[in-house]
Chains A and B, each alone.
Chain A
């Protein structure tokens, strides 16, 4: 994947003696100590990360965690104290004022703010044109572009309204449109939906994802809301005290929190909505094949302490599920026979699910399942893994990954 933004060892210290604070930081002093001893505020310290082209990268943290500061460092609204920011191969920390201005115009869709930051004396259309106007695009051309974007964000008919006549959600659409009207690759969004009420907020998140499908921007989205982060973020960076605690997808962060802080943070998360079947499924310990005789199959089951076993062909196409109890009964019936053939009546079709389904759906399926684990299969019915009751419970109760691993496919 192409890296759009590469950030290396980025540090921002607010105050008049950043050098002293930097030294103290290197000696391992905490943010609070530095504020006390040197009266310098550490905004961001030694942060490194990459943002892939066309992904939604979320900076998540509580207030004071440095997430907004970090975002403002990316377009140098804040001057970095140390470190590099490489955007499209260019280190922007080295640009002079004029080059920086040009760079912002070419590479950034401005910024979208929590309080919208649209101009009260301008109409919607005039606000949307703002970025183009600064670049000196002529009047007809910029109006044409603006109208196109206004349509995309669903503001058609309001282009001549003033911001004070619009609701919060509509005003933020103007903010969004203003950014999108500029032909640039990176969109910075700072708590963009945090001032909106929950319903509108959710709607805007959906619309952003929809727009992103079409527009394909690289979006850096700052939020303090974990639900929002997990909902829209391709990857999420969780920040604390000016540092990044963990970067990863929602599933990675939930299933493998990198620190106690992250663990505590994701504790309240509605895990069922975030985790997918793919994240909680386990690899099958043993599989039966159509050529196996009943005794072989029973041996496989016994060896692994299972209550049943899945059967696939050699290309892992799912054939069915064999219950240990039925198999034992069947073998008892045919005790006398030298060679017992496998009877297809032993084979039951288990419930299946694709890896991208959420845990909520998995639980629904589980509730309607009469027997066996849930088989996770891809679109071609090839077996990927299994989900047993134990997997669901431990995933929900947020146990460590290895704990889930210890669970066998005990069910029935």
Chain B
């Protein structure tokens, strides 16, 4: 139909090549930093005897999500240990938590800024749409080019995929703070920073925490995909199950992902509940 073809693929490749060649050291530094974070987190958790960590997680769940969830966590984690998937489980947990920390560090300020600036909001919205709808596999390619194979591109791909809901919900939460509360703060002579920290963020907290929860869930959904570029963790076991048609092994690994997902979901959902009801 057209006598020419728009060379989108050439542009993207050229841009990525340029970035890799010009900013290699920057990526290396970043890569080292992520590696450091994930590994320390993982090693720290593996340093403990599995039973200690299991009891700790169960206790935390008890406090935040009630005794029923605590029993679920205890049983689920013991099963994980029993079927020999403890180490990959901890690896996955470290990877997801690291990605989530990055998401929060980047997402919260961007979400807050989007709530304060309509202009920025209108710019970032299509970007977020793009990030969320672009098939997750596509992120793997540049991630690998920038950071090589392994854990770091896995974290980065997870980060990119999990970032949008936090920005969206932080933005939404702050915009939904009742107008009268803002007027009240102004009437009492609040500075913009006081207004943000004492009114907007606390009142928006349930919505923001829903964003954290959603981004963790999205991060977990990346576990298997990230394993394709060697991120490790239980995803690798699932992947191996697929490749070798070992249904049993695949199911076991999948089950561990589900257990982790449910525990993290209930824990982060409980953060969103405010004190007023309890």
Determine if A165 and B187 form an interchain contact, defined as CB atoms under 8 angstroms apart.
no
Q: Which of B123-131, B189-197, B218-226 contacts A (4 or more CB under 8 A)?
A: B189-197
Q: A77-B186, A105-B189 given as contacts; is B180 within 8 A of A121 (CB)?
A: no
Enumerate chain B residues within 8 angstroms of A72, measured Cβ to Cβ.
183
Determine if B184 and A117 form an interchain contact, defined as CB atoms under 8 angstroms apart.
yes
Across the interface, name the chain A residue whose C-beta is closest to B278: A162
Enumerate chain A residues within 8 angstroms of B180, measured Cβ to Cβ.
113-115, 117
A125 and B216 CA atoms in complex are apart in Å by 36
Kindly state whether residue A17 has any CB partner on chain B within 8 Å.
Answer: no
A11 and B244 CA atoms in complex are apart in Å by 78
How would you classify the secondary structure of chain B's contact residues: helix, strand, loop or mixed? helix
Kindly state whether residue A101 has any CB partner on chain B within 8 Å.
Answer: yes
Chain A 146-193 interface residues, beta-carbon cutoff 8 Å to B: 162-165, 178, 182, 188
A77 and B185 CA atoms in complex are apart in Å by 10
Determine if A101 and B189 form an interchain contact, defined as CB atoms under 8 angstroms apart.
yes
Enumerate chain B residues within 8 angstroms of A28, measured Cβ to Cβ.
none
Enumerate chain B residues within 8 angstroms of A101, measured Cβ to Cβ.
189-191
Kindly state whether residue A135 has any CB partner on chain B within 8 Å.
Answer: yes
State which of A115, A130, A164 has its C-beta within 8 Å of the C-beta of B276. A164
Determine if A77 and B187 form an interchain contact, defined as CB atoms under 8 angstroms apart.
yes
Enumerate chain B residues within 8 angstroms of A118, measured Cβ to Cβ.
184
Enumerate chain B residues within 8 angstroms of A135, measured Cβ to Cβ.
189
Tell me, rounded to whole Å, the shortest Cβ–Cβ distance linking A14 to chain B.
Answer: 15
Determine if B187 and A104 form an interchain contact, defined as CB atoms under 8 angstroms apart.
yes
Enumerate chain A residues within 8 angstroms of B194, measured Cβ to Cβ.
134
Enumerate chain B residues within 8 angstroms of A178, measured Cβ to Cβ.
188
Kindly state whether residue A131 has any CB partner on chain B within 8 Å.
Answer: yes
Kindly state whether residue A133 has any CB partner on chain B within 8 Å.
Answer: yes
State which of B189, B203, B274, B276 has its C-beta within 8 Å of the C-beta of A102. B189
Across the interface, name the chain B residue whose C-beta is closest to A135: B189
Q: A111-B183, A134-B194, A162-B275 given as contacts; is B188 within 8 A of A105 (CB)?
A: yes
Enumerate chain B residues within 8 angstroms of A133, measured Cβ to Cβ.
198
Determine if A121 and B191 form an interchain contact, defined as CB atoms under 8 angstroms apart.
no
Tell me, rounded to whole Å, the shortest Cβ–Cβ distance linking B209 to chain A.
Answer: 12
Determine if B181 and A119 form an interchain contact, defined as CB atoms under 8 angstroms apart.
yes
Query: Number of contacting residues on A, CB 8 A?
Result: 31
How would you classify the secondary structure of chain A's contact residues: helix, strand, loop or mixed? mixed
Determine if A121 and B183 form an interchain contact, defined as CB atoms under 8 angstroms apart.
no
Kindly state whether residue A45 has any CB partner on chain B within 8 Å.
Answer: no
A111 and B183 CA atoms in complex are apart in Å by 8
Kindly state whether residue B148 has any CB partner on chain A within 8 Å.
Answer: no
Enumerate chain A residues within 8 angstroms of B276, measured Cβ to Cβ.
120-121, 162-165
Kindly state whether residue B277 has any CB partner on chain A within 8 Å.
Answer: yes
A163 and B274 CA atoms in complex are apart in Å by 12
A44 and B1 CA atoms in complex are apart in Å by 62
A77 and B189 CA atoms in complex are apart in Å by 10
Kindly state whether residue A350 has any CB partner on chain B within 8 Å.
Answer: no
Query: Number of contacting residues on B, CB 8 A?
Result: 22
A102 and B183 CA atoms in complex are apart in Å by 16
Across the interface, name the chain A residue whose C-beta is closest to B183: A77
Tell me, rounded to whole Å, the shortest Cβ–Cβ distance linking B202 to chain A.
Answer: 5
A239 and B195 CA atoms in complex are apart in Å by 32
A148 and B243 CA atoms in complex are apart in Å by 72
Enumerate chain B residues within 8 angstroms of A110, measured Cβ to Cβ.
184, 187-188
Across the interface, name the chain A residue whose C-beta is closest to B184: A117
Tell me, rounded to whole Å, the shortest Cβ–Cβ distance linking A170 to chain B.
Answer: 14
Kindly state whether residue B205 has any CB partner on chain A within 8 Å.
Answer: yes
Tell me, rounded to whole Å, the shortest Cβ–Cβ distance linking B137 to chain A.
Answer: 41
Chain A 78-136 interface residues, beta-carbon cutoff 8 Å to B: 101-102, 104-105, 108, 110-111, 113-115, 117-122, 130-131, 133-135
Tell me, rounded to whole Å, the shortest Cβ–Cβ distance linking B270 to chain A.
Answer: 15
Tell me, rounded to whole Å, the shortest Cβ–Cβ distance linking B201 to chain A.
Answer: 10
Kindly state whether residue B178 has any CB partner on chain A within 8 Å.
Answer: yes
Q: A115-B180, A133-B198, A134-B194 given as contacts; is B274 within 8 A of A121 (CB)?
A: yes
Determine if B203 and A121 form an interchain contact, defined as CB atoms under 8 angstroms apart.
yes
Across the interface, name the chain B residue whose C-beta is closest to A115: B180
Enumerate chain A residues within 8 angstroms of B277, measured Cβ to Cβ.
164
Kindly state whether residue B64 has any CB partner on chain A within 8 Å.
Answer: no
B253-278: contact bitstring with A at CB < 8 Å (1 yes, 0 no)?
00000000000000000000011110
State which of A77, A104, A121 has its C-beta within 8 Å of the C-beta of B275. A121
State which of A108, A117, A182 has its C-beta within 8 Å of the C-beta of B181. A117
A110 and B80 CA atoms in complex are apart in Å by 57
Enumerate chain A residues within 8 angstroms of B183, measured Cβ to Cβ.
72, 77, 111, 113, 117
A118 and B198 CA atoms in complex are apart in Å by 12
Chain B 156-189 interface residues, beta-carbon cutoff 8 Å to A: 178, 180-181, 183-189
Kindly state whether residue B57 has any CB partner on chain A within 8 Å.
Answer: no
A80 and B242 CA atoms in complex are apart in Å by 69
Enumerate chain B residues within 8 angstroms of A188, measured Cβ to Cβ.
187
Other A-B pairs, 14, CB within 8 Å; known A101-B191, A121-B205: A75-B187, A101-B190, A104-B189, A105-B188, A108-B188, A108-B189, A114-B180, A117-B178, A119-B181, A119-B198, A119-B202, A121-B275, A131-B188, A131-B189
Residues of B whose CB lies within 8 Å of any CB of A are: 178, 180-181, 183-191, 194, 198-199, 202-203, 205, 274-277
Task: Show 18 A/B contacts (Cβ-Cβ < 8 Å), sorted by A.
Answer: A72-B183, A77-B183, A101-B189, A102-B189, A104-B189, A111-B183, A114-B180, A117-B178, A117-B180, A117-B184, A119-B198, A121-B205, A134-B190, A134-B194, A135-B189, A162-B275, A164-B276, A178-B188
Those 4 A-B pairs whose CB atoms lie nearest each other, nearest first:
A105-B189, A117-B180, A162-B276, A111-B187
Residues of A whose CB lies within 8 Å of any CB of B are: 72, 75, 77, 101-102, 104-105, 108, 110-111, 113-115, 117-122, 130-131, 133-135, 162-165, 178, 182, 188
